[in-house]
């Protein structure tokens, strides 16, 4: 059952330490070029981290920027939509740069090589939100996956009615279930407008079921992932197990199971980790037992998938 990932927050100060902790959760590097090493207040206002639906993460900000800060995303994402309701930010991806102004939105797809950079100047009031979707949720909503072989971004203008509805949702949030339904509906509207151009009008593809023998070989690969989830599996060796080329395995595995080979592996690892956490193991232990070398990478993946941090789940048992 979907739920809100955080309760409403009061207006408060957010320091350099707070932003770096936020960056650890979401895979963002923050820099403060005009500040020293000591913790300093950077922004003041409300920041909400919400889960309007499964596989969806929504962060809303209504803040005063007191000190300039720079950020750079460092994790791949199938689709994120950034909306600016008030204020400005300078964003760049590779050689492409633009100023995100009020009423504008940015659809971003990131691979593991190119990250999105942004500069937030001091002395302004920012009202913004960021919607992130994981690949399985995005696939379920649009009917098939959206390929992103390279990082890219697309700027577009918010429809007036949608901009007004987002403003109202931030200004006068509803309670509990009503808020979740409101935000899920608005998130779906953002997705409808923010899909990559080549996919906005495309109907879902019809994929025929694989022949029984081929399905059996694909099941063999899935069983290998389940049997040894901590191993560093390679597509080439898995393809040999399935007696097909890596490209064929990539395509046919998604057609058979609705997700990529490594998305399936990641979701299985996170499911195992969730079980370890509910049984009283620490975050570090759960990460290690499920094949994550770094607890910070595990925490980011867990939060993206479940909408809550692994530490909050561990603390509740």
Summarised one tens digit per residue, pLDDT across range 273-305 is: 888 888 888 999 988 988 888 888 888 888 877
User: Which residues, 6+ apart, have CB-to-CB distance to 221 below 8 Å?
Assistant: 238, 241, 242, 249, 253, 261
Determine which helix (DSSP H) or strand (DSSP E) holds 24, and give its type and residue range: helix 16-26
In this prediction the pTM is 0.59
Q: Greatest CA span in the chain, whole angstroms?
A: 64
Tokens matching residue 149 = 């072989």
| Architecture in CATH of 212-315 | Orthogonal Bundle (1.10)
Q: Please state, in angstroms and as integers, the Cα–Cα distance from residue 125 to each residue in 45, 87, 89, 197, 214, following that order.
A: 9, 6, 11, 31, 57
Per CATH, the number for 12-199 is: 2.60.120.10
Q: Which of 45-54, 220-229, 307-316 has the lowest mean pLDDT?
A: 307-316
Nearest to 188 by CA among 138, 134, 143: 138
Q: Residue 207's pLDDT is what? A: 44
Q: Is the pLDDT of residue 198 over 70?
A: no
- Helices within 63-175 (DSSP H only): 135-142, 160-171
Angle, helices 160-171/176-194, rounded to nearest 10 degrees: 150
What is the C-alpha separation between 249 and 251, in angstroms, rounded?
5
255 vs 229: which has the higher pLDDT: 229
Residue 128, SS3? strand
Q: Is the pLDDT of residue 204 over 60?
A: no
Q: Residue 241's pLDDT is what? A: 93
What is the C-alpha separation between 89 and 124, in angstroms, rounded?
10
How do the domains of the chain map onto residue ranges? 12-199, 212-315
What is the C-alpha separation between 83 and 126, in angstroms, rounded?
11
Q: Please state, in angstroms and as integers, the Cα–Cα distance from residue 187 to each residue in 26, 55, 108, 168, 249, following that order.
A: 19, 12, 15, 14, 33
Q: Residue 87's pLDDT is what? A: 87
Q: Residue 167's pLDDT is what? A: 86
Residue 145 C-beta-side C-alpha neighbours within 13 Å: 21
For the sheet containing 41-50, what is the strand order? 12-15, 41-50, 56-65, 124-133, 77-86, 104-110, 152-157
Q: Give how far the C-alpha of residue 68 lies from the chain's centroid of Cα atoms, to the nearest Å.
A: 24
Residues in the chain: 317
Q: Is the pLDDT of residue 249 over 60?
A: yes
What is the C-alpha separation between 198 and 147, in angstroms, rounded?
11
What is the C-alpha separation between 199 and 258, in angstroms, rounded?
18
């Amino acid at each position: 059952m979907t739920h809100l990932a955080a309760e409403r927050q009061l207006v408060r100060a957010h320091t350099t330490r707070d932003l770096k902790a936020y960056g650890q959760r979401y895979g963002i590097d923050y820099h403060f070029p005009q500040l020293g090493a000591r913790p300093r207040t950077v922004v003041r206002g409300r920041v909400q981290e919400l889960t309007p639906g499964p596989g969806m993460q929504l962060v809303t900000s209504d803040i005063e920027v007191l000190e300039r800060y720079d950020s750079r995303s460092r994790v791949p994402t199938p689709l994120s939509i950034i909306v600016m309701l008030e204020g400005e930010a300078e964003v760049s991806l590779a050689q492409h740069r633009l100023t995100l102004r009020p009423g504008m939105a940015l659809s971003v797809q990131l691979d593991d090589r190119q990250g999105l950079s942004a500069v937030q100047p001091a002395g302004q009031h920012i009202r913004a939100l960021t919607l992130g979707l994981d690949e399985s949720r995005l696939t379920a909503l649009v009917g098939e996956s959206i390929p992103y072989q390279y990082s890219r971004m697309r700027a577009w203008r918010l429809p007036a009615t949608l901009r007004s509805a987002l403003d109202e949702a931030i200004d006068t949030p509803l309670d509990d279930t009503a808020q979740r339904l409101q935000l899920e509906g608005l998130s779906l509207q953002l997705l409808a407008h923010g899909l990559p151009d080549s996919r906005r009008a495309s109907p879902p593809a019809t994929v025929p079921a694989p022949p029984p023998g081929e399905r059996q070989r694909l099941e063999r690969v899935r069983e290998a992932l389940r049997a040894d989830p901590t191993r560093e599996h390679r597509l080439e060796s898995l393809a040999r197990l399935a007696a097909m080329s890596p490209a064929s395995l990539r395509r046919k595995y998604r057609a058979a199971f609705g997700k990529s080979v490594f998305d399936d592996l990641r979701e299985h690892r996170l499911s195992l980790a969730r079980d370890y956490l509910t049984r009283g193991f620490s975050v570090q232990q759960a990460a290690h037992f499920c094949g994550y070398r770094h607890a910070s990478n595990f925490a980011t993946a867990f939060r993206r998938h479940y909408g809550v941090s692994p530490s909050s789940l561990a603390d509740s048992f």
